[in-house]
Structure 1
Amino acid sequence: MDFLIGIAALIIALSFAGLVVFLARVLKQVEEVLSHTANTVENMEQQIGEITSETKLTLYNTNETIADVNHKLTQLDPLFHAVNNVGVTANKLTSSLVKMTTRATDEVDKGAAKMDEKDLRGWMKTAAFIYYLTTTKRKEKKAAPNKEPVKSELQREHMNV
């Protein structure tokens, strides 16, 4: 029986030695992985340091640009106020013109309504035609001493057409 106990102890010792060798190989691979991970982390720290410094520079330049733009905008404020005042004035002028035009249109409409009530349109047209004829005759009489025939406006219009 001592012999069997010795064989069992030998098997256990060989198994333990195989386990140690296997674990040594696994631990060696884990060491390599951890070594690569450490190198990667070190490289990342350097890159993050560079990125951080570049980011700080970019933020500084951005803040300087924003300050410059704000300064220039404050210088333009009077111009914007002047443009606003011109716009308000133009709006008031336009409103006044609209009111005047509306009043004039209303007065013309009232005059036309009165003319329609009294049937004066025909008489107004007749008076305008008589006025036209008399002024044309006066122009012809004034031009007669110079012996230049004066063409009436109607003749000129027909010649130009």
Structure 2
Amino acid sequence: MNILIPISVLIIALAFVVLVIFLARTLKSLTVTLDNVAKTVDGLETQLNGVTSETAQLLHKTNKLAEDVQTKAASLNTVFSAVQDLGSSIHNVNESVRKVTEKITTGAERQSENISQAVQWGNVAINLWEKWKIKKAGVDSTQQTSQRRQYQ
């Protein structure tokens, strides 16, 4: 029995050495894995800082663009208001032209009878005047002929 105790202690010591070796390998492997994780986290942190910086710049540009759009939209509101006023003015001018045209047409229709009568009276007057001229010319030629006969 005396020999069993040292053999048992030797087996326990060997088992402990094997356990320590496997634990050392596992810890070494875990260290490598943790180093890789640390490098990956550092890379992600660098990338995240870059993305954050780009996002801040993009947000700043977006805000400037939004302000520019608001300014231009306000300018366009005055343009649209001016166009609306111009449309109203053109409508008023069209209404005025339509009313003037109606008045001229109505006046012309009313006066067309008077103008027709005036033209007819004018034609009668011209005909009378021409007849009077012809009669006068005939009387004058008759008088000239009779005066010539008297002198002969």
TM-score of the pair, normalised by structure 2: 0.56
Aligned position for 1:72: 114
Number of residues of Structure 1 aligned to a counterpart in Structure 2 = 110
Equivalent in 53, 66, 70 of residue 95 of structure 2: 53
| Between structures 1 and 2, the one with greater helix share | 2
Aligned position for 2:65: 23
State the Cα distance separating 1:31 from its structure 2 match: 1.4
Structure 1 unaligned segments of length 5 or more: list them.
112-161
Aligned position for 1:11: 53
Per-residue deviation, residues 55-110 of structure 1 (Å, max 9, x unmatched):
3222211111111221111222331122111221133134335644665687689x
Using a 3 Å threshold, how does the CA distance of structure 1 residues 100 and 20 change in structure 2: closer, same or farther? same
Using a 3 Å threshold, how does the CA distance of structure 1 residues 101 and 15 change in structure 2: closer, same or farther? farther
Structure 2 unaligned segments of length 5 or more: list them.
1-41
Secondary structure of 2:58's partner? helix
Aligned position for 2:130: 88
Equivalent in 30, 33, 36 of residue 75 of structure 2: 33
Per-residue deviation, residues 93-134 of structure 1 (Å, max 9, x unmatched):
34335644665687689x5xxxxxxxxxxxxxxxxxxxxxxx
RMSD: 3.0
Larger RCO of the pair (alpha carbons < 8 Å, separation 6+): 1
Task: Name the % identity.
Answer: 6
Q: Highest CA radius of gyration, 1 or 2?
A: 2
Whole-angstrom distance in 1 between the partners of 2:93 and 2:79: 20
TM-score of the pair, normalised by structure 1: 0.53
Whole-angstrom distance in 2 between the partners of 1:64 and 1:38: 38
State the Cα distance separating 1:33 from its structure 2 match: 1.8
